[in-house]
Amino acid sequence: MKNIFLIVGPLLLLSTGADARVRQDEDAAAIDAFIARQARRERGQEYRNARKVVVGDLTRDSAAETVVLYTIEGQLGSNNYAQYLTVLAREGGRLSPVATAEVGGKSARSVDLRSIEASAIDLDTLSYGPKDAMCCPSVKGTTRYVLVGRRLREQKGGATKGPHN
């Protein structure tokens, strides 16, 4: 019996590793497709290097949600950009979008996804000071978003004052 276990055990580990890679690839493809659809609707394109992804439990149901911060730029040939936060949850084994919110952008504020803590999404922010150029917000702050049903809501406490607060 030990010989069978030694042979089967590693095969199960290899299978589990392969399954995890397949799931990661499927998740990445689902995220790519979701963002590409939004970029087409806005007639812009994603600035792929700015995308950030974190995974954590937002709903306290012991199942992890995937949170993506991404930027769509060049809408209708402009030099505008908008930053979005999207929560995706696993439904039927696949990631499906639950909620999306515009959280930053040109002339609003810049945000950076930090983590999921205590069922909330933590972001660092840069808002515009009175002498800041449109390229360069400089006032540091933080904010948090929580998932309420199928909506993302910003928690006001601790956030930098700005157009999205």
Tokens at 56, concatenated: 């954590």
Distance of CA 122 to the CA centre of its chain: 11
Task: Give the mean pLDDT per block of 10 residues along the chain (165 residues).
Answer: 42 56 88 96 95 94 94 93 96 93 94 96 95 91 96 75 44
> pTM value?
0.82
CA gap 144, 133 in Å, rounded:
26
Q: Give, for 11, the enclosing helix (H) or strand (E).
A: helix 2-42
The domain segmentation of the chain, as residue ranges, is: 2-155
- Best CA proximity match to 84, nearest among 58, 121, 139: 121
Which pLDDT score is estimated for 162? Answer: 44
Which pLDDT score is estimated for 18? Answer: 73
